[in-house]
């Protein structure tokens, strides 16, 4: 019970720290600097790490299960494939957005075909789909 009380006090303390203090604690806990700008996300990461230290992290058995699931998920394994796939004409890029599936076909000229129109970039297509400016490669999951 003592450790739970300590953890609660630690979490309460995190909630009252300013950004600079949180960045220092993050560096101490994770070993690298926080580059984000959201104090909310920074607090979440620190609190997660504190809980992990007090209660233990993911067990080896659970990590093996999660790794197996990720290995079978094609969207989890795009590193190194994305650049090569983007250069192959005829490659289909699919994305489900708000319940609807969208398909883009990579052209031989470095352009992209979407719904009968030719676009110069994936970002332009992502904008056509969402109505907001987005990184097209990231939107379609091909950014490595």
**Is pLDDT at 79 greater than 90 in this prediction?**
no
pLDDT digits (tens, 9 = 90+) for 86-144: 567 888 888 888 888 999 998 888 789 999 999 998 999 999 999 998 888 888 888 65
- Output the average pLDDT for the chain: 86
pLDDT digits (tens, 9 = 90+) for 26-38: 999 989 998 888 9
CB 48 within 8 A of CB 25: no
pLDDT for residue 13: 94
- State what percent of residues in the chain have pLDDT above 90: 44
Reduced 3-state DSSP string for the chain: CHHHHHHHHHHHHHHCCCHHHHHHHHHHHHCCCCCCCCHHHHHHHHHHHHHHHHHCCCCHHHHHHHHHHHHHCHHHCCCCHHHHHHCCCCCEEEEEECCEEEEEEECCCCCEEECCEEECCHHHHHHHHHCCCCCHHHHCCCCC
């Amino acid at each position: 019970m003592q450790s739970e009380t300590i953890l609660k006090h630690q979490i309460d303390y995190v909630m009252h720290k300013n950004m600079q203090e949180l960045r220092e604690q993050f560096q101490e806990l994770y070993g690298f600097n926080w580059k984000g700008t959201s104090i909310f996300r920074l607090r979440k990461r620190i609190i997660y790490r504190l809980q992990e230290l007090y209660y233990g992290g993911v067990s080896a058995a659970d990590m093996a299960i999660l790794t197996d699931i990720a290995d079978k998920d094609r969207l989890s394994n795009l590193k190194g494939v994305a650049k090569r796939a983007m250069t192959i004409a005829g490659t289909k890029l699919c994305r489900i957005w708000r319940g609807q599936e969208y398909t883009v076909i990579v052209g031989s000229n470095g352009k992209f075909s979407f719904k009968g129109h030719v676009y110069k970039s994936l970002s332009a297509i992502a904008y056509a789909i969402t109505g907001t400016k987005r990184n097209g490669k990231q939107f379609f999951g091909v950014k490595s």
